[in-house]
């Protein structure tokens, strides 16, 4: 597996209309109106095979925006982001989930959105059910699920696609202890195969167990990059 993430002077912008509602970059340019805000500015880094990197920083620092740029959800407005490897992501508990549909129906939909053919997605459903540990709840509407159950379903689908790059954004913190261990075990197996893990959140002990390196983000920029312990200490103002 030859995976890599390379960002060079990456910038991602958002446009807001006059009522402060988010407008997509393309629609904003067509309308020629609104206020432009940079979610990411001049972000550069390289992540190689076998690396697990934590994104640290306060809420609104750009961690989620960066993960979504890696996932291809947000295009680069400046610079570039080069993603070499199949991406599996768990970026939001409700991302892609439709509450009226059952867990099975949502899993089939998420599989297609993740790049599987309809046939492959349907064929994987029993495996997804087993991976999620949801049991009979897999046949119930997602509207009846707790946050942890939704996160289980999302991760099970992401894991089924055999990602080479795994993105985790806070939602793993909603998982119960048992399934959190499953996620960590899967992530370590991915790293052992030369994959990449990028995780953001505020549960530093969990991130430290998984990640040896961290990027510290402030106002859409990477302001520190180094060993997890040193970057965490800088973030918390503890020195090194």
What are the backbone dihedrals phi and psi of residue 118, each rounded to the nearest 5 degrees, phi first? -60, -40
- Per-residue pLDDT tens digits for 186-195: 889 999 999 9
Rounded to two decimals, what is the model's pTM? 0.79
The pair of structure tokens assigned to 201 is 């959140």
The answer to whether residues 17 and 47 touch, using CB atoms and an 8 Å cutoff, is: no
At 35 the pLDDT is 66
DSSP string computed for the chain: ---EEEEEEEEEEEEE-TT--EE-HHHHHHHT-SEEEEEEEEEEEEE-TT-EEEEE--TTSSHHHHHHHHTTSS--SEEEEEEES-EEEE--TTTT--TTSBHHHHHHHHHHHTT--HHHHHHTHHHHHHHHT-GGGGGSBGGG--HHHHHHHHHHHHHHT--SEEEEESGGGGS-HHHHHHHHHHHHHHHHTT-EEEEE-S-HHHHHHH-SEEEEEETTEEEEEEEHHHHHHHHHT---
At 139 the pLDDT is 95
At 173 the pLDDT is 64
Pairing of strands 165-169, 87-90: parallel
Q: Angle 135-99-187 (CA atoms, 0-180°, nearest 5)? A: 55
Straight-line distance from the first to the last Cα atom of the chain, in angstroms, rounded to the nearest whole number: 35
The answer to whether residues 44 and 76 touch, using CB atoms and an 8 Å cutoff, is: no
Average pLDDT taken over every residue of the chain = 84
- Per-residue pLDDT tens digits for 37-93: 889 999 999 999 999 999 999 988 999 999 999 988 888 999 999 999 888 777 665
Find where tokens 């446009």 sit: 15
Spans of the chain below 50 pLDDT: 20-21, 23, 26-32, 239-240
């Amino acid at each position: 597996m030859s995976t890599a993430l390379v960002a060079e002077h990456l910038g991602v912008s958002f446009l807001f209309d006059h009522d402060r509602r988010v407008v997509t970059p393309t629609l904003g340019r067509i309308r020629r109106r609104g206020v432009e805000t940079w979610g990411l500015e001049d972000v550069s880094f390289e992540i190689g095979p076998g690396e697990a990197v934590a994104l640290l920083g306060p809420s609104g620092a750009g961690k989620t925006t960066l993960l979504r740029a890696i996932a291809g959800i947000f295009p680069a407005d400046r610079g570039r982001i080069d993603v070499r490897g199949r991406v599996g992501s768990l970026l939001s508990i409700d991302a892609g989930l439709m509450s009226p549909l059952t867990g099975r129906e949502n899993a089939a939909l998420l599989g297609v959105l993740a790049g599987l053919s309809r046939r492959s997605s349907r064929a994987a459903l029993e495996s997804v059910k087993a991976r999620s540990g949801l049991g009979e709840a897999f046949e119930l509407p997602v509207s009846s699920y707790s946050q942890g159950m939704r996160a289980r379903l999302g991760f099970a689908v992401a894991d089924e696609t055999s990602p080479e790059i795994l993105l985790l954004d806070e939602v793993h913190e909603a998982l119960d202890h048992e399934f959190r261990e499953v996620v960590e075990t899967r992530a370590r197996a991915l790293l052992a195969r030369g994959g990449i893990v990028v995780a953001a959140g505020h549960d530093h002990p969990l991130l430290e167990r998984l990640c040896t390196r961290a990027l510290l983000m402030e106002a859409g920029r990477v302001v520190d990059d180094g060993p997890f312990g040193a970057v965490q200490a800088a973030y918390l103002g503890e020195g090194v």
